Amino acid sequence: MAYDSDNVFARILRREIPADILYEDAFALAFSDINPQAPVHVLVIPKGAYISFDDFAEKASDDEIAGFFRAVRAVAQKLGVAEGGYRLLANHGANAHQEVPHFHVHIFGGRPLGPMLTRTGRP
């Protein structure tokens, strides 16, 4: 599967559509999820064109991978959720219900999040 450079997060990276941008560095951009499922629900995306975690882990350079995950931590620190706790989630592919084909990590926090998955599979 080829990377779709018109996906919504690629367009946010190019500033073609608005987003509530909370953090940016050389490797990553973070913005509020448009449909938040917790008091804190932020998405962190790499600047490179990677479809999913699987694609990123296969093709990104070591610098990109390290820079990206350091950025995820920096965002969590900036959001103030590190002390109370937060959850990271990355959906890859159909069974995980990945909707946007640009790798992203969700950061959830701001309240007790409960168990990882419900019996229905709904978060």
Please report, as ranges, the residues that interact with ligand AMP according to CB under 6 A.
8, 19, 31, 33-35, 43, 91, 97-100
Q: How far apart are CA 77 and CA 73, in angstroms?
A: 6
Select 31 or 56, whichever has its Cβ closest to ligand AMP. Answer: 31
Select 61 or 114, whichever has its Cβ closest to ligand AMP. Answer: 114
Question: Least CB distance from residue 25 to ligand AMP, whole Å?
Answer: 19
User: How many H helices and E strands in the chain?
Assistant: 3, 5
Q: Which of these is catalytic: 41, 92, 104, 106? A: 104
Is residue 94 classed exposed, middle or buried when 0-12, 13-18 and 19+ CB atoms within 10 A define those classes? exposed
Select 88 or 100, whichever has its Cβ closest to ligand AMP. Answer: 100
Is residue 102 among the annotated active site residues? Answer: no
Q: How far apart are CA 90 and CA 25, in angstroms?
A: 20
Which residues are annotated as catalytic?
Answer: 104
